[in-house]
Amino acid sequence: MSRKFKPIVVKRSVILGTVAALAVSATTARAAAVEYSVSGVEGGLFGEPSGLIFDGGLILDENASRSVTTWGPGGLGVNSTYSSPLQQVWGTMGDWTFSGIATVYVSDGPEFWSPGQDNLVMDCWIVRADVSGPSANGLTPTQLNLLYYIQPEHVFGSTPIPPFDPLTSVNDSDFQFTLSFIDGGGASSFVGGRLLTLQSIPEPSKALVFVMALGMLGARLVR
């Protein structure tokens, strides 16, 4: 004899209450999230810019998980990797639109290893993301890198947040981006260029709170 199961009915008030609670949680999470506007131009690393405009955004999580390794004499150099599902990057360049989860890599060394022994390895702050987006001109975007290099001075802290706002560089080649593609035959290629701006947004968009709330709701539903 088969048993009949009654469908589970969730009251609209319960759903709205849950969404409201998640929105509050997302607002709290937003306090640890910093949103940036990002722009660049293809080419222009060793001369005048000559290509497409890159325009996008970035969200970094001050509470991102951090893994650390040391390097150099005495282990004075520090490599940090920051990971969090809240960290997002997105953008457009020409006919391409792309987005993905961002991971931040930081290499931070002292100005001197010891008296009279200079550190010749530049510090770096790098955002890497496996991105996805629709194909255009036979190419599909696959990875975005935002790269910032600076003389070794131990200027980085213990979060993925860059040391300066806005982030700028004296040398064009020290502040750049690359966007990688794959074509229909599986061959890879990339374009690169000069980053022009990377600056925090004083009041992050309301869409950021909504996206975080939906993300938290989805995480709870799959448990």
CA dihedral sign of residues 94, 96, 100, 102: negative
Q: What is the pTM of this model?
A: 0.78
The closest of 23, 57, 55 to 206, measured between CA atoms, is 23
| pLDDT tens-place string over residues 113-147 | 888 888 889 999 999 999 999 999 999 999 999 99
Which helix (H) or strand (E) covers residue 95, if one does? none
| Mean pLDDT score of the chain | 82
Half-sphere exposure of 37 (CA within 13 A, CB side): 11
User: Domain boundaries in the chain?
Assistant: 34-201
| Separation CA 106–CA 104 (nearest Å) | 7
CA dihedral 57, 63, 69, 72 (to 10 degrees): 70
